[in-house]
Structure 1
């Protein structure tokens, strides 16, 4: 049996925060498939948050980040000095599909090259006949892992668990309660299920002896007062924390029995906590943007004949949440 690649280069154009959160499932699966490999993450056309705000999340998964590498954009790169001259990788995984970029990347020294560009034309491994590219970006990336490893992709490699951050989360949400997370915000109000319904769900959790935990970002901080009035036992850990980071949000999620979130960055962070998640979608396509949670229930407004978030009934959310907590 082959020992697998010792060195892997992953190429991306760039990673904003949302991209970086979604791609963590792919990175965890790649590391799980090749646990001994040294992974280099290269952002060829811009900045990757793995070299910035999300760097703590990829410790132990990525050995090296090449940020803003300036590779993969110009036809002139097809000639002359090779990109990353002098370096060779056992495996290159090209996560984008622009043919010019893929041709440039193939000039980097390598043993195997995996790429979906031009219908996998340049790839050393290809999917079977009849393959249809999934709508989900995460699923597309998982398919690359499966091609590289020959096995189904499983995002089971653990994320870092910083002891200080875990202790801060434990101080904010102490042992002894069943916590239920509620993330009512999103990047745009059209993606938000009505706040009064989140409050109604929280009140029901309190009646059942559970503790509602509202995760409010800066744009939603002024909702806390109205929520407190109607849900006196609700917790607001991000408003009480000394410093708010993605690592803290994930650590808080690990202390919850389940959570509910709109299509949002917080929803993707809760998915990374590996807890059951109820994800609510309206105008944005769930097939493309659903979080990569290990236990995920997606409720889509179009199942109730609309793309408006208020079409999702409170009863459906309560039923999905109860099922997660059984």
Structure 2
């Protein structure tokens, strides 16, 4: 590119989303981390135009230092009357942005957002027709939502999207996690046996058998049970005396139902196993080695995004029922993740 200068890094960035419920916010965290990694000096505004954002509420501690400003439920991107001045009536009115990233694909909304004063506009709507930068010919849109968002970031930065910014964990939740999992010598292995529906759950007795194997290897199984799964606690405790159930510990208090505590606990795990569930995405927010178990839902679309992970599908063992996934297959995949997480005793001893 002789004679040409690389474009200046944006100093102001606006990211548009429709809304972020807690589950949405957890799935989008790798994008937020990669965005800050790509543009460390930029002022980043997160605009939720059609509803609330968990980044201004429950998940705010997780984006501290990554997002500079969250504007939620702004009423932007819905009506043609916004075409003249999309940001009118919002706290962003009158501002210009070096980079606008539109993460949704509804053409009407994209046409409105393109009227926001900007230098570069990135959008995947209408096959990138309205975007200032487009992927190469033949590009196929990824199935996973997070991968679609990372593709937009790569267009904006011209570099691979790398979500490697140090994870942020709520300090109060982290202190409590240290209290609940206080053995610094233990190898904690997380187990999340619940899910939004029973059809997405690997059988509880298999999770208990897996926990027994973990305990037999001198590791500590940690079961994370949601409020609707507390009835499993006595069965787990009687089957595996060494198991830890931190969310049912009275010391967890009100934080026992908060995703922030689950994420803080997960950060202390060497590895974990989870069904396709919200709990799995909470573990992924801590970016730990994670084995995800899938049955009726496609992992290509819904698998949590982690630096190191593995997926087992019921379809690969004879059908879509979760009970088709063998205990041995799960244990073998978990052991591989644990082995990869242990320090190499021979490293540096040449």
TM over 0.5: yes
* 1:156 equivalenced with 2:170 (yes/no): no
* Distance in 2 between residues matched to 1:305 and 1:186, nearest whole Å: 22
Is the 8 Å Cα contact of residues 86 and 113 (structure 2) preserved in structure 1? no
* Distance in 2 between residues matched to 1:3 and 1:46, nearest whole Å: 33
* 1:209 equivalenced with 2:222 (yes/no): no
Match of 1:220 in 2: 229
Task: Give 1:161 shift.
Answer: 3.3
1:59 pairs with one of 61, 64, 68: 64
Match of 1:127 in 2: 135
* Distance in 2 between residues matched to 1:11 and 1:281, nearest whole Å: 31
Three-state SS of the structure 2 residue aligned to 1:256 is coil
Match of 1:118 in 2: 126
Normalised by the length of structure 1, the TM-score is: 0.97
* 1:251 equivalenced with 2:251 (yes/no): no
Moved over 6 A (4+): none
2:325 pairs with one of 312, 321, 326: 312
* 1:81 equivalenced with 2:85 (yes/no): yes
Normalised by the length of structure 2, the TM-score is: 0.90
1:177 pairs with one of 178, 186, 203: 186
* Distance in 1 between residues matched to 2:178 and 2:59, nearest whole Å: 21
1:302 pairs with one of 302, 308, 315: 315
Q: C-alpha offsets along residues 60-110 of structure 1, whole Å, 9 cap, x if unaligned?
A: 1111111111010112222x3342541111111100000010000011111
Q: C-alpha offsets along residues 209-243 of structure 1, whole Å, 9 cap, x if unaligned?
A: 00000000101111000111111110011111122
1:26 pairs with one of 21, 25, 31: 31
Unaligned stretches of 5+ in structure 1?
Answer: none
Is the 8 Å Cα contact of residues 85 and 108 (structure 1) preserved in structure 2? no
* Distance in 2 between residues matched to 1:208 and 1:305, nearest whole Å: 30
Task: Give 1:3 shift.
Answer: 4.5
- Taking only aligned residues, the RMSD between alpha carbons, in angstroms, comes to 1.2
Task: Give 1:272 shift.
Answer: 1.7
Three-state SS of the structure 2 residue aligned to 1:292 is coil
Three-state SS of the structure 2 residue aligned to 1:294 is coil
How many residues are paired up? 325
